Homo-oligomer: A and B are copies of this chain.
């Protein structure tokens, strides 16, 4: 449906990127938490808990001061990066930065690919996910967490069509390594539906700490980092939106700050066949048009039209993940973002 909107983008050199080969000159590996605030709880009753089987119960006082709503990031800096700016890899909903690490089938993922391509690479865990930690609910986080069943991941991420999970049926020609699907499911983490504001605040703090940078974001992370980015557009050198599932509404948000921030939209296969992808694609197309109306530069790649077929929503884990990363790397190079 949206294929005709694709602007011409020659997929050149995307096959020139072989499987990432290691042996890196690493200048530094490190990590940090950023953002968040202190919250104090009081007046809650003590609880008795048995910490070790057979040991007497210990009274636990749930009151006190806590750090909450921070996020976590880990970086690998190269001795001689070829990229002008660090590359931030931002995960989607119900997942963590592990999205970009070794793939569930044990092969190198996009963290590896982009390090080998010469970027200093940052991988983060959003507020409430993974090493960012999470806070007591409903006292601090306002809702209950949501746990994604394997069925939902299989179908929403377009490994197979609706109602395909029970039989583990797949789309013909799809690229996800289904023998590693259970392994992939181990990466899932609970999510809350009430933490957008602190998550966006933490992304803003993250950008202020480590940018100027290029931000590559997946799925639910899209709306969060675009919204945060609008607060500090001068710090963002480019956005790569990998199947972003949301974006600011151009009728409500002023996108003028993104005039100088090139955007690449990357989309996989089978999107017309699985809800809610047609609707989400339309939201992103509207945002894309808004960025262009504000004078910004955008490129929109439908991978199947570029001859790259079978990609799921988790294209960074698909068998041809290096080929997809090659398309992105080629675009980054053409934007003058490599030395």
Contact = CB atoms under 8 A, between A and B. Distances in A.
A189 B66 contact: no
Interface in A67-87: 67, 70, 72, 74, 76, 79
Contacts of A62: 147, 149
Interface stretch (A10-18, A29-37, A294-302, A316-324): A29-37
Interface in A198-231: 223
A298 to B, nearest CB: 23
A193 interface: yes
A312 interface: no
B52 A111 contact: no
A23 B27 contact: yes
Interface residues of A, number: 70
Contact of A186 (B22, B24, B49, B133): B133
A338 B52 CA distance: 36
B131 A29 contact: no
A146 interface: yes
Interface majority SS (helix, strand, loop, mixed), chain A:
mixed
A101 B30 contact: yes
Interface string A97-124: 1100110001010011001000000000
Contact of A63 (B33, B72, B149): B149
26 contacts: A23-B26, A23-B27, A24-B25, A26-B26, A29-B29, A29-B111, A30-B101, A33-B98, A49-B193, A50-B193, A52-B223, A63-B149, A64-B149, A64-B151, A66-B149, A66-B150, A74-B101, A96-B131, A130-B133, A131-B131, A131-B189, A133-B186, A133-B189, A133-B190, A134-B189, A134-B190
Interface of A: 22-33, 36, 38, 47, 49-53, 60-67, 70, 72, 74, 76, 79, 96-98, 101-102, 106, 108, 111-112, 115, 125, 130-131, 133-136, 143-144, 146-147, 149-152, 182-183, 185-190, 193, 196, 223, 246
Given A49-B193, A61-B149, A62-B147, 12 more contacts: A22-B26, A23-B79, A30-B112, A32-B106, A38-B182, A64-B149, A66-B149, A66-B150, A125-B131, A130-B131, A133-B186, A133-B188
